[in-house]
Amino acid sequence: MTPLPAALLSHQAPLDLNEASTAWILTSTALVLLMTLPGLALFYGGMVRRKNVIATIAQAVAAFAIVTVLWFVVGYSLAFGSGGVADSVVGGLEAAFLNGVTPATAHRLAPGLPEFLWIAYQLTFAVITPALIAGAFAERVKFPAAVLFVCLWHLLVYVPICHQVWGGGWMGSLGVLDFAGGAVVHVSAGVAGLVAALVIGPRHGFGRDNLAPHNLALTAIGAGLLLVGWLGFNAGSAWAADGIAAVAAFNTLLAAAAAAIGWTVVEWIDHRRPTLLGLLSGLVAGLVGITPAAGLVDARGAFVIGLLSGPACYAGAVWLKRALKYDDSLDAFGLHGVGGIVGALLTGVFATAAINPAGANASLVRQAVGLAAVVAWSGVGTFLVLMICRFTTGLRVAKEDEIEGLDYAQHGETLHP
């Protein structure tokens, strides 16, 4: 065993290794990473037009690379460290560059896991969040702008929200419940997507040209990988190989299935026919909806959350977008924003101490307060980041490049040479 450092950092505890839990979180880390690469890359890549597939996948790969380096440099310390001058809002810099992290240290929130594993697991959540946002501005944003956006948004929006909910900040202390990232990941990304869609404006030909997905088979493969990876996302958030993890795993599957049915029923009535894209979108809606509640509710609560998430996300992705005429290309807000809000609010209704002791103090009011804070922080922060991008790299590609396609215009590559 590596000896402990002379003095533990304020967020650290001596490692009391739980081998079973460590094995499970190692597996969960791989599963959550699978959600971004290749899961989300294929899910989004199949939904854009053929001329923008490479550019869309490149944004997911870039998100992984950029966030991983930033997490090592300062992100982890600001999200899960302590000792900052405003510790209720954001952590300190004492663990920058992973200073003081050794194989014998653990985070005080999970003393049975090596801290390096805790860092890696939490990194996978930080990676997928900005990658989700890219679905809102797909097919029209410059790659340099996407790179700068990810850098700034990770540090100014994701990291503070993560700390406030999970890292010892004021929302966690207030009692806001977010088991696996309904607010931290999905609401923050969904609201950011909505702001980005409004600021950047619609794609050329929106409302006139055929902007349909080019390959739903890719989207179906991506959705399947998201479903499998989400077991690590939700059940891994128990931070142990225990009964709560098992409940979270089953609730994840049940809510996804219920939401797929709920979405499809509404779509069938609205459009007179069910679609594969609708089934897949409903599946993801249920996964998003159950995320904040997965290890806090029983199976009946999970079923209701899933059944309501499907129609609610259909309304956000179809009716709301149609009424307000904004171009959220791949429904980042309709799925992740709406689904996360529904799930976070219903967590305050269905959380129960019979499943998890944390459910004893569940409150719809506290959940609403937390959601309002996340929406405000993400909305304002995203707008500021977009303005910085607009006046530095510029946001949109030229009209001719958009018509030609971002694959060749931005990357000099094509899907089918």
So what's the pLDDT on residue 416?
80
> In whole angstroms, what is the distance from residue 68 CA to residue 161 CA?
18
In the block, which residue shows the tokens 């202390």? Answer: 173
Residue for token pair 């996804």: 256
Residue 160: inside a domain: yes
pTM above 0.95, yes or no: yes
Determine, yes or no, domain membership for 202: yes
- Report residue 170's pLDDT band, with 50, 70 and 90 as the boundaries: very high
* Domain count within the chain: 1
The C-alpha atoms of residue 243 and residue 74 are separated, in whole angstroms, by 34
Q: How confident is the model at residue 399 (pLDDT cuts 50, 70, 90)?
A: very high
* DSSP code string of 195-211: HHHHHH-PPTTTTTS--
The reply to whether 312 falls in a domain is yes
Mean pLDDT of 244-267: 98
Query: Using one digit for the tens of pLDDT, what is the confidence trace for 37-68?
Result: 999 999 999 999 999 999 999 999 999 999 99
Q: List, for residues 127-142, the tens digit of each pLDDT value.
A: 999 999 999 999 999 9
- Would you say residue 3 lies in a domain? no
Residue 226 belongs to domain spanning: 16-411
Residue 130 lies inside a defined structural domain of this protein: yes
Per-residue pLDDT tens over the stretch 300-339: 999 999 999 999 999 999 999 999 999 999 999 999 999 9
Q: Is residue 8 part of a domain?
A: no
What does the mean pLDDT of the chain come to?
A: 96
Specify the CATH number for the domain of residue 192. 1.10.3430.10
Residues 6+ apart with CB under 8 A from 88: 164, 169, 170, 173
* Domain annotation covers residue 123: yes
Flag whether 10 is in a domain.
no
> Above 90 in pLDDT, residue 282?
yes
Percentage of residues in the chain with pLDDT exceeding 70? 99
361 against 69, higher pLDDT = 69
